[in-house]
Structure 1
Amino acid sequence: MSSVDADELRQLLAECSLGNRRSFESLYRKASGRLFAVALRCMSRNDLAEEVLQEAFVRIWHNASRYNENLSAPMTWMVNITRNLAIDQLRKHREVPLTDDQADLLIDESPSAHEQLDSQREARALERCLDTLEGMQRKSIITAYFHGVSNTDLATQLAAPLGSVKSWIRRGMERLRRCLES
């Protein structure tokens, strides 16, 4: 989902929270395919997935005012509602406990809203601190750590002595550490 789509979904949720039925219809058209796929993956049957999807949209409509954009992206929020409903339905209708394989299918390993928010804050802080580094320190650290290039290969790419590259990285990492701690 692109940021333009996420912004549009945020706006539609805000309008839904005010009771705007047209916005709810638009939200349904834009999100129902993805949410149905989530429900179907959990339920493994079209008819049950359709029931979960319907209930999910009822909950989305009634709880749109509770959506908090600072905690999660709109699609993440709606996927969590759908997935939780599917899990509830599976628990309710299971006479036999879930097998390990079935339970594994239900595990959502995506980061929580709080983890995403923390990760965004950390990324912004790292970006800010990287911007304070001198040119060769910054370039060396980004190339070595974010692109996985060894110090030897980096020295070759930069046409610089290996000792200089190691110094740029060591000094740059020390400056990053101090910046991130402040």
Structure 2
Amino acid sequence: MEDLQQLVRECLTNNRRSQEKLYRKFYPALFLLCRKFFSQHEEAVEVLNDGMLQVFTQLGKYDATKGELFNWIYTVVRNTALDRIRRRKWPPHNEIDEEAGATQNNIMSKLDWEDIYKLLDALPPATRAVCSLFYLEGFPVKDIAEMMQQSQGTVKWHLSETRNKLKPILEKYYLK
């Protein structure tokens, strides 16, 4: 723990070696986070790098009394990924009123990570982001709508699209 606090203090002085150590320490988990949102390896790394740049420029705002450093970094990188998705121009989607809720036996929780990423690759970026936030991160529809700056109906539409696109794949390959 003390090593991490020392690393943060050194990062605050723009010590490049310390920044690299912090980056490498959290890279595996943060890359997996970005990979949930982006199918292309290069884009996931690019977003991770953008997020870590935000971490290093805003590290002075981190307050250890409010939570763990990793959780703060994770949130900054996740928000960077969501910002990237929001900046894209998506074709308008029809909103639906269908209730979208997580089922008790969420199939995503039963799959290996490699399988989940293959499934996510079948989804368009915005739908992929909503699916990741809902099924993998556990956020409710209301919170996802706020994060994505979309209506709850649009978020529900993306969840419906997720089910429509993934159901045939799951039935064919995973639910035998």
2:66 alignment partner, SS class: coil
**Structure with more of its chain in helix, by fraction:** 1
TM-score by length of 1: 0.51
Q: Which residue in 1 is equivalent to 2:32?
A: 37
Alignment of 1:135-154 (within 5 A): none
2:51–2:81: 8 Å Cα contact kept in structure 1? no
**Across the two proteins, how many residue pairs are aligned to each other?**
104
Counterpart-to-counterpart distance in 2, 1:87 and 1:65: 22
Counterpart-to-counterpart distance in 1, 2:130 and 2:35: 14
User: What's the CA shift for 1:102?
Assistant: 4.3
Q: Which residue in 2 is equivalent to 1:20?
A: 15
Over aligned residue pairs, what C-alpha RMSD do you find?
2.1
The gaps in structure 1 that reach 5 residues or longer are 111-182
AA aligned opposite 2:25: K
User: What's the CA shift for 1:25?
Assistant: 1.3
Q: Which residue in 2 is equivalent to 1:114?
A: none
The yes-or-no answer on 1:55 pairing with 2:82 is no
Q: Which residue in 2 is equivalent to 1:11?
A: 6
User: What's the CA shift for 1:94?
Assistant: 4.2
2:64 alignment partner, SS class: coil
1:95 alignment partner, SS class: coil
Q: Which residue in 1 is equivalent to 2:90?
A: 95
The gaps in structure 2 that reach 5 residues or longer are 94-125, 140-176
Alignment of 1:25-174 (within 5 A): 25-96=20-91, 98-99=126-127, 102-107=129-134, 108-109=137-138
Sequence identity (%): 29
TM-score by length of 2: 0.53
Over alpha carbons, which structure has the higher Rg? 1
